Amino acid sequence: LSQRLQVAKMLRAGDSYEKIVEETGASTATISRVKRCLVYGADGYTLALDRLGAK
């Protein structure tokens, strides 16, 4: 879960897939799944990142 949150944070920052793979070790499939959730999902990642950023 923490890896996916890091991926979501990097995607929101506009980082490339290559950079995300290098820094997190996540597969491109995981990255695209997280991106799909960010774009079309129910804002779960966005809420989690916003709440973590407030701390």
CATH number at residue 30: 1.10.1270.10
Of 8, 2, 3, 1, the closest CA to residue 34 belongs to: 8
Structural domain boundaries enclosing 34: 2-54
How many domains is the chain partitioned into structurally? 1
In order, the DSSP letters of 1-55 are -HHHHHHHHHHHTT--HHHHHHHH---HHHHHHHHHHHHHS-SHHHHHHHHHHH-
Residue 2 near residue 49 (C-beta atoms within 8 A): no
Give the model's pLDDT for residue 25: 97
Q: What is the pLDDT of residues 5-28, one digit of tens each?
A: 999 999 999 999 999 999 999 999
Q: What is the pLDDT of residues 29-45, one digit of tens each?
A: 999 999 999 889 888 88
